[in-house]
Amino acid sequence: MAAFIAAQGADHGIPATACCRALRVPRSWYYKWSGRGLPPRAVRRERLKAEIAGLFAGHKGNRGPPMITADLHDLGWRVSKNTVAALMAEMGLAARPKNRRKGTTRPGKGRWKAPDLVKRDFPAAGINVKWYGDGTDIGTDEGKLCRDSVLDVGSRRVLGFALGEHHDAELACSALVMAVAVRGGQVPGVIFRTDQGSEYTAGLFRAACARLPVCQSLGRPGPALDNAVIESWHSTLEFELRRAGRFATRAAARAGAAAWVEDYNDHRRHPALGRISPVEYERSLAGKDAA
């Protein structure tokens, strides 16, 4: 084959590059056979491929063409992102996708939707004015443990929470019922703000809100900032529990989560709302019962 390519050049003046392309053979193979060595452009290409492979391996396969190109520029190479992408595809190098945190919110499929009664005006002048609810997961060696919480923004206190193996309307109802019981069994007119998760739009939960009675308020689908008060609190809870170490059992996770909530309620520290001391809290209630 190589002799044939050389003959075409000698007898008919056909460049070796055109012959290799027509016969679908690598030019590097032909030049190696002929003893002439690779042309400068091909030599540079091979060096560039070796550099790309080294950078890709050095970053453990987590860098794509844009970042590899930036690294090459730092090393003095003049090369475009498209060239790097083509060479990486030729070598079969593809960056692994990052593991993204899976959201636990599952929007309800029904047409019912509560009005937005908060409109991102998160604070409240007193207790039992605005409550916030949300769910999160706690990892254990036995599997995930789901948690639903209810927080009163006026007192910055977690009034109710429930733990179970599934995020559903029953778990959300348990947390809400506990919160109402803590506040004496009646909280007429309190606004309960949540996301549009299916557990909060289910008929069981809507019936519970009507019975207690509680005014439901749902945020817009998607933006986490619409429920930032409880979202930031849950993020702090997850961080503190992870720092304590992974739980071997769901029972241990239940105990750890309950203990952390008790400590939080004693100090009233909130990542989005700051800290309120027990004395300041009692004064702000003007003699009202904080419980």
**Shortest CA distance to 96 belongs to which of 71, 60, 58?**
60
List residues bridging with 147 in a β-sheet: 136, 163
Residue type, 175: A
Domain that holds residue 36: 2-91
Q: Are residues 77 and 152 in the same domain?
A: no
Q: Is residue 119 part of a domain?
A: no
In a shared domain, residues 141 and 269: yes
Does residue 124 sit within a domain? no
User: Looking at the structure, do residues 140 and 223 belong to the same domain, yes or no?
Assistant: yes
| For residue 286, pLDDT beyond 50 | no
Least Cα distance to 148 among 162, 159, 132, 131 occurs for 162
When pLDDT is cut at 50, 70 and 90, the band that residue 181 belongs to is very high
- The mean pLDDT of the chain is 79
> What pLDDT is recorded for position 162?
92
Q: What is the pLDDT of residue 214?
A: 93
pLDDT value of residue 278: 44
Do 52 and 181 belong to one domain?
no
Top-confidence residue, 30 or 206:
206
45-54, 162-171, 235-244: least confidently modelled range: 235-244
pLDDT value at residue 270: 54
Please report whether residue 110 resides in a domain.
no
Predicted confidence band at 95 (pLDDT cuts at 50, 70, 90)? confident
Overall pTM surpassing 0.75 (yes/no): no
pLDDT at site 276: 46
Number of domains observed in the structure of the chain: 2
pLDDT in tens, 128-154: 999 999 888 888 888 888 889 998 888
The pLDDT-based confidence of 99 (bands split at 50, 70, 90) is low
CA 114 remoteness from chain centre: 26
The verdict on 248 and 193 lying in the same domain is: yes
Pair 234, 173: CB distance under 8 Å:
no
CATH code: domain of residue 177: 3.30.420.10
Burial class, 217, CB count within 10 angstroms (exposed 0-12 / middle 13-18 / buried 19+) = buried
The pLDDT assigned to 178 comes to 93
Among 91, 108, 141, the domain boundary falls at 91
In a domain, 155, yes or no: yes
In this structure, are residues 139 and 147 in contact, taking their beta carbons and an 8 Å threshold?
no
Residue 289 lies in a domain: no
- Identify the residue with better confidence: 166 or 95: 166
Which range, of 29-33, 108-112, 144-148, 218-222, averages the lowest pLDDT? Answer: 108-112
